[in-house]
Structure 1
Amino acid sequence: MALVERWSIVILDLDPVVGHEQAGQRRALVVSYEPFHRSGLATVCPITTRRTRYPGEVSIAAGTAGQTMDGVVLVHQVRTVDMRRVTASAIGGTARVLDDPRIRRDVRRALAHHLGLDLPAAADGAA
């Protein structure tokens, strides 16, 4: 099983789902660290093209990390998934790493806020 890097944008199959969970094949931002991925799991935030105006959404412009369209990281939909949900094409070389420090910072802040965690000032700018 290939491991993906933190901050990679991958394609997942999120079905089956229940209720208001994001469904189907979609892009997602990997927010967990590589050592965790050795367990066969990864924590991700789905990405959509439809802005829903929930607190904590983080925009990704087309062209960022090879994305062909604008997207919104749905931090409030954070979930841990089995790596078998990652499509083979994403692991096979199309997964792109999000290297924009502003977007990374915004995702970290949104995750901390969503989970009710204090984000230390030193970690605010960390990779």
Structure 2
Amino acid sequence: MARVPGRGDIYHIDLDPIKGREQRGKRFVFVLSPAEHDKYGLVIVLPVSRGQTLARSTGFACTLMGAGTQTQGVVICDQPRTLDFSARGARFVETVPAYVMEDVLSRLAPLVT
């Protein structure tokens, strides 16, 4: 892993294998964990989707629309996962604006506080 992922980065990665209703396949993910954690190889992420009606209706989706990012869709804040970026061949795409990171953290807070 040449570049250390940081909070607010977007990567493209293969989420398979999965079980049940988890997000699957090659897709964009939003890095939740800070670089200080990520430098050890395991990265906490949230999937990005263009669907996710449930996350949208329950308030756990943070939109990337209008954020000036090439990645579009919503960050699904109620499906965090820890991934080995090296083993899954993660590819850096971009970093979101700070206000998107703040929105993600505010939507995640009710799940962990």
TM-score (norm 2): 0.85
RCO higher in structure (CA 8 A, sep ≥6) = 2
Aligned-residue offset at 1:39: 1.4
On the 8 A contact 1:47/1:71 being kept in 2, the answer is yes
Unaligned runs of 5+ in 2: none
- Partner residue of 1:79 out of 70, 78, 81: 81
Residues in 1 aligned to 2:11 and 2:68: alpha-carbon distance in whole angstroms: 13
The count of corresponding residues between Structure 1 and Structure 2 is: 108
Are the equivalent residues in 1 in contact too, given 2:10–2:29 (CA < 8 A)? yes
Q: Runs of 5+ in structure 1 lacking a partner?
A: 118-127
Identity of aligned residues (%): 30
Q: Which has the higher strand share?
A: 2
TM-score (normalised: structure 1): 0.77
Counterparts of 2:103 and 2:97, CA distance in 1: 12
Give the RMSD, CA atoms, in angstroms: 1.6
Task: Tell me the equivalent position of 1:10.
Answer: 11
Structure 1 ranges of 4+ moved more than 3 A: none
